[in-house]
């Protein structure tokens, strides 16, 4: 299992957001992995089985998702910086998305 997984839900429509490209990066901006959400809005494999403790960034390319739907939107992308701690086996990063707002949290 990947150390990082993600899930994108379109909270305006109440459906999973499929086709959202997600990029996992180091704090220095180096790309570690990319993936695209499936029909359930999920990415189950984003990067290696383990990451070194430290700071990372995940970028959700939500602008393309909304453009594809013909939906006006405010955010071209959503960037979330987070820290990986030693001994933590898994990080799940959900994104609840609407055209003009978003929220996130550490999932399970």
Does the annotation flag 7 for ligand binding? yes
Below-70 pLDDT ranges, the chain: 1
The model's pLDDT over 31-61, given as tens digits with 9 standing for 90+, comes to 999 999 999 999 999 988 889 999 999 999 9
The DSSP element (H or E) to which 63 belongs, if any, is: helix 62-69
Instruction: Look at the chain and count its residues.
Output: 108
Which CATH number among 3.40.50.460, 2.60.40.180, 3.40.50.2000, 3.20.20.140 corresponds to the domain 4-104?
2.60.40.180
Q: Taking the CA of residue 47 as centre, how many other CA atoms within 13 Å lie in the half-sphere pointing to its CB?
A: 21
* C-beta separation of 40 from 9 below 8 A: no
**How much is the pLDDT for 94?**
97
Query: In the structure encoding, which two tokens stand for residue 41, read together?
Result: 């809005």
The answer to whether 50 and 56 are in contact (CB under 8 A) is: no
Q: What is d(CA 87, CA 76) in angstroms, rounded to the nearest whole number?
A: 34
Task: Give ∠ CA 106-91-10 in degrees, rounded to 5.
Answer: 55
The domain limits of the chain are 4-104
Q: Is 57 annotated as a binding residue?
A: no
Q: Any binding-site annotation on 42?
A: yes
Joined together, the tokens standing for residue 35 give 């993936």
């Amino acid at each position: 299992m990947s150390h990082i997984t993600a899930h994108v839900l379109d909270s305006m429509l109440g459906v999973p957001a499929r086709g959202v490209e997600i990029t996992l990066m180091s704090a220095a901006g180096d790309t570690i992995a990319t993936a695209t959400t499936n029909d359930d809005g999920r990415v189950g494999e984003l990067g290696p089985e383990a990451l070194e403790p430290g700071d990372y960034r995940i970028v959700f390319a939500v602008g393309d998702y909304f453009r594809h739907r013909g939906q006006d939107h405010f955010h071209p992308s959503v960037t979330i910086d987070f820290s990986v701690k030693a001994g933590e086996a898994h990080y799940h990063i959900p994104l609840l998305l609407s055209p003009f707002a978003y929220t996130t949290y550490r999932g399970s």
